[in-house]
């Protein structure tokens, strides 16, 4: 916790909850028969329940309580994050190699979000020769875009084009948390200069969650932007 929130003294001695990366907070169930947990959610950010996708409201001190059981691990998403996911259950990560991605976007209080994506072949040292894909995603002003990071190594200035052909998994859906679905009139993608309306839906149980289906680009692509029309 303190590595992600070094200015928050409350996190310095916490050992009963932890972060996975910068944007997922885990509160394990550790007591037998436990039916309720209390978790500390730093007030510097807004937060969402990962399972329900609902915004959570801690008190002024950052404390939040919720019902739970031993079959549920409470997970919370930090507002302002974009998390690439593969959601199909497989026996190994290698078996997931060609599975499509979902982009989970959790908006902050400014209705913005940012995230990163990195992928290589997962088995060799070819990443040292820039055989990888490294992208950043940004959502601002109701527009989602992607950009390319500079090379992670000193060997090459750009990603090797032959390796890019191997990393070709598509994005099958985009899920946006914290957006009032009732205000969304449409979703449009500009891909290689071609404009297309996309199918989207609002969660039946939570009007602040919208899902964009089959946006039509691959995770490595750069020449696209998606606009939410209100």
DSSP code string of 11-32: GTT--S-EEETTTEEE----ST
Residues 93 and 196 occupy one common structural domain: yes
Residue 4 lies in a domain: no
Residue 2 lies in a domain: no
Residue 46 lies in a domain: yes
What letters, b where the CB count within 10 A reaches 16 and e where it falls short, cover 1-35?
A: beebbeebeebeeeeebebeeebebebebeeeeee
Q: Note down the domain range covering 137.
A: 81-229
Residues 66 and 95 occupy one common structural domain: no
For residue 36 the two structure tokens come to 């309720």
Point out the domain boundary residue: 53, 78, 103.
78
Question: What pTM does this model have?
Answer: 0.90
> Is the separation of the CB atoms in 17 and 40 below 8 Å?
yes
pLDDT tens per residue, the chain (230 residues)? Answer: 999 999 999 999 999 999 999 999 999 988 888 889 999 999 999 999 999 999 999 999 999 999 988 778 899 999 999 999 999 889 988 888 889 999 999 999 999 999 999 888 788 888 787 778 888 999 999 999 998 876 555 444 455 554 454 566 899 999 999 999 889 999 999 998 899 999 999 988 888 999 999 998 988 888 899 999 99
- Enumerate helices (H) and strands (E) in the chain, giving the number of each: 1, 18
Point out the domain boundary residue: 78, 101, 120.
78
């Amino acid at each position: 916790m303190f590595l992600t929130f070094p200015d928050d003294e409350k996190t310095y001695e916490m050992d009963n909850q932890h972060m996975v990366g910068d944007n997922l907070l885990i509160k394990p169930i550790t007591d037998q028969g436990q039916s309720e947990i209390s978790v500390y959610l730093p007030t510097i950010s807004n937060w969402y329940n990962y399972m329900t996708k609902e915004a959570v409201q801690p008190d002024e001190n950052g404390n939040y309580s919720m019902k739970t059981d031993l079959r549920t691990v409470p997970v919370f998403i930090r507002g302002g994050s974009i998390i690439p996911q593969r959601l199909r259950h497989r026996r190994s990560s290698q078996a997931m190699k060609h599975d499509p991605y979902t982009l989970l976007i959790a908006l902050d209080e400014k209705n913005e979000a940012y995230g990163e994506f990195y992928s290589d072949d997962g088995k060799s040292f070819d990443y040292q020769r820039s055989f990888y894909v490294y992208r950043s995603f940004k959502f601002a002003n109701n527009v989602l875009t992607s950009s390319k990071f500079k090379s992670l190594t000193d060997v090459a200035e750009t990603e090797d084009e032959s390796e890019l052909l191997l990393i070709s998994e598509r994005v099958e859906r985009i899920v946006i948390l914290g957006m009032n679905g009732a205000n969304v009139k449409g979703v449009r993608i500009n891909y290689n200069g071609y404009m297309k309306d996309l199918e989207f839906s609002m969660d039946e149980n939570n009007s602040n969650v919208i899902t964009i289906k089959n946006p039509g680009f691959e995770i490595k692509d750069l020449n696209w932007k998606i606009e939410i029309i209100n």
